[in-house]
Amino acid sequence: MSTEPVNVDEFEELARQALPRMYYDYIAGGAEDQHTLRQNIQAFCRITIQPRILVDVSKIDMSTTILGYRISAPIMVAPTGSHKLAYHEGELATARAAAAAKTIMVLSLASSYSMEEVASSCNAIRFFQLYVFKRRDVSTLLVQRAERFGYKAIVLTADTPRLGRREADIKNKMIAPPQKNLEGLLSVKVEVESDQGSLLESFVNEAFDPSLCWKDVAWLKSITSLPILIKGILTHEDAIKAVEVGVDGIIVSNHGARQLDFSPATVSALEEIVHAVKGKVPVLLDGGVRRGTDIFKALALGAQAVLVGRPIIYGLAAKGERGVRTVLEMLKNELEISMTLSGCPCIKDITRSHVRTNTHYDKLHSML
Ligand SMILES: Cc1cc2nc3c(=O)[nH]c(=O)nc-3n(C[C@H](O)[C@H](O)[C@H](O)COP(=O)(O)O)c2cc1C
Ligand SMILES: CCCCC(=O)C(=O)O
């Protein structure tokens, strides 16, 4: 029997075997009871796909355009920090795999390699994910560097005024991995006494600016000409505000369930946000995407694309660059077969009527 993984989930076990426990727990874990972590996956399971038959599906075109950039499929690489924990070539390998898949990589500010090193290692279309520090001058500098080094958009992560409570990290006394982008710019004193709990949490709580608010989007716009996406929107109220302050896109995200436990599963929040946005800006989604059918469902509910977080790191930990390539290929192949079997030759053919959410079935059951 082959031990090669046949789906994205199987990479998780390979990664678990390859990684020190502290790192695996950090990557895999969610906040507190991890209720939302499970729901991110389960909410997809409550949606059915309503296939159409006898459609010419001899050619499937998964390509799409995000902020004017053509990508081979609506599957992007989510910003995740510290790829060197998974593999020595870290984000350099991830970026090359994203380039091979002809998709967009969102580089985390908290990357192991610097944004300049990543930029010169590949020709992937790259966005830069920003955290705002109390030291605003440092964040300003990072945005300017991103613009100079060819990053095409700023993804402002807005769900992290402090780090969520990740109990495995507290128990493991998770380290605060070095962040190359901050070298020479920010030194934060975090206590290294052995009873301190998660040092990453201490770092974030020291360094990040919890006073960041809506008016600061104007500040961000004043320091860059790049388009700005807000990541971490989960309600129609905030989606409307985001459009009002003039962002260029929204990422529906609960940070992979690592911040507020009992925040909604992202795919269950998607539709109200899509309705509120009324097509004015693109809406993307991340959280729990593990199958081509998940991507199909998110697109049917109005997302323009999805981003994938943990599976990319699992691919990296298991097999380096090749692992990330395989993860992206698997998702693409699965999306292709989902589109074929549901009668959708192009991305725009995937409509709301191709899925049903469980409410339809609840109604049906109550009638029976
Ligand atoms: C190990 C890890 C590190 C992460 N680091 C960041 C980060 O630096 N910036 C950020 O905006 N989101 C970060 N995220 C959240 C991801 O961008 C994304 O929202 C989430 O992983 C999507 O869920 P998924 O892992 O189920 O695909 C991180 C997630 C993980 C698992
Ligand atoms: C400064 C590191 C933050 C990483 C992060 O966002 C996460 O672990 O979810």
List, in order of start, the domains of the chain with CATH numbers: 8-367 (3.20.20.70)
Query: Residues 255, 275, 354, 360: which is the catalytic one?
Result: 255
Residue 112 has which token pair?
């192991």
Beta strands in the chain (DSSP E): 48-49, 64-66, 69-71, 75-77, 104-107, 125-130, 154-157, 228-233, 249-252, 283-286, 305-308, 355-356
| Residue 287 near ligand 1, beta carbon < 6 Å | yes
- Straight-line distance from the first to the last Cα atom of the chain, in angstroms, rounded to the nearest whole number: 45
* 259 CA distance to ligand 2 middle (Å): 10
Return d(Cα 155, Cα 160) in angstroms, integer.
13
Q: What does the chain come to in residues?
A: 368
Q: Which residues line ligand 2 (CB under 6 A)?
A: 81, 110, 200, 204, 255, 258
Q: Identify whether 354 is a catalytic site residue.
A: no
Ligand nearest to the CA of 287: 1
Return d(Cα 34, Cα 239) in angstroms, integer.
25
Look up the pTM and report it. 0.96
Q: Answer yes or no: is the ipTM higher than 0.85.
A: yes
Exposed/middle/buried for 251, CB within 10 Å: 0-12, 13-18, 19+?
A: buried
- List per-residue pLDDT tens for the chain, 368 residues long: 777 999 999 999 999 999 999 999 999 999 999 999 999 999 999 999 999 999 999 999 999 999 999 999 999 999 999 999 999 999 999 999 999 999 999 999 999 999 999 999 989 999 999 999 999 999 999 999 999 999 999 999 999 999 999 999 999 999 999 999 999 999 876 665 556 799 999 999 999 999 999 999 999 999 999 999 999 999 999 999 999 999 999 999 999 999 999 999 999 999 999 999 999 999 999 999 999 999 999 999 999 999 999 999 999 999 999 999 999 999 999 999 999 999 999 999 999 999 999 755 556 566 66
